[in-house]
Structure 1
Amino acid sequence: MTDFNDLANRYLAQWNESDPALRRKLIREIWAEDGVQFLVDPPEDVRNAAARISFPIPQLEVRGHDLLERRVERAYEMFIETGHRFVQRGAATTLLKDVIAFTWSMVTEDGAVVGGGMDVLALNEDGRIRTDHQHIGID
């Protein structure tokens, strides 16, 4: 049985981890080898570019440990290195068997909330993340 709050904490820890080797280790521990993260509502410039060529809002995805590692590394560079941190808001909620959701905030060094979102994780039989639907901007 997976402790869902522990998993949510470890999930957020991967984004906050400064040591690339420990980040890689966390990713391989909590994600299925073919795990996929979907960014459900991509940034406005991506949505606008898609709309200009008559495409619906695209859903962005990365699949597998190597691409997940690059995604987490880039987010680290963009947010953590600039003085932010990701923290869990409240307890993880069980939606279905092996499907959980939790909300999080991006905070400054003094604790001010400057962003947030919600992740919906579907787990495989080993308790690793099979899919992650990340919703940014959920307050």
Structure 2
Amino acid sequence: MKAVVAQYLATWNATGDERATLLSKHWSPKATYTDPLAEVSGHEGITAVVDGVRARFPGFVFAQVGEADAHHRLVRFRWGLGPEGAEPLVIGFDVLVLDESGRIQDVHGFLDKVPA
């Protein structure tokens, strides 16, 4: 499951063709993403959310915080968003649901720490 989390975070940190390749390879075409600020589906919807976050926090990177926990086709983990190597400005908790082939099918996100 470490690879799934790494691929997920890489998608959030990637741009352009690299992100499109990650989405195509590691995310179901019908993937959904839901958090307190967004509810989208498909690669285009997910790309729009990622682009919005990257525009709001330019130069910041997503990194895993702590260890992931998994069972069956579910993976949960905490992440941080901030300048590389610095204390995260935003911290969240995501639950990934994988499809039968191990690709990300659904994401359920929660925000634990958000700047004012």
From the superposition, tell whether residues 112 and 35 of structure 1 become closer, same or farther in structure 2 (CA, over 3 Å). Answer: same
Q: CA RMSD in A?
A: 1.7
From the superposition, tell whether residues 110 and 129 of structure 1 become closer, same or farther in structure 2 (CA, over 3 Å). Answer: closer
Task: Output the CA distance in 1 between the equivalents of 2:113 and 2:103.
Answer: 24
Residue 20 of structure 1: aligned partner = 16
Residue 88 of structure 1: aligned partner = 64
TM-score (norm 1): 0.74
Task: Output the CA distance in 2 between the equivalents of 1:103 and 1:22.
Answer: 23
Letter in 1 for 2:10: A
1:133 to 100, 108, 115: 108
Query: What is the DSSP-based 3-state SS (H/G/I as helix, E as strand, rest coil) of the residue aligned with 2:89?
Result: strand
Identical residues among aligned pairs (%): 28
Task: Output the CA distance in 1 between the equivalents of 2:75 and 2:113.
Answer: 16
Tell me, yes or no, if the aligned pair for 1:118 and 1:138 is still in contact at 8 Å: no
Query: What is the DSSP-based 3-state SS (H/G/I as helix, E as strand, rest coil) of the residue aligned with 1:137?
Result: strand
| Structure 2 gap ranges (5+) | none
Query: What is the DSSP-based 3-state SS (H/G/I as helix, E as strand, rest coil) of the residue aligned with 2:48?
Result: helix
TM-score (norm 2): 0.88
Q: Larger Cα Rg: Structure 1 or Structure 2?
A: 1
When the two structures are aligned, how many residues end up with a matched partner? Answer: 114
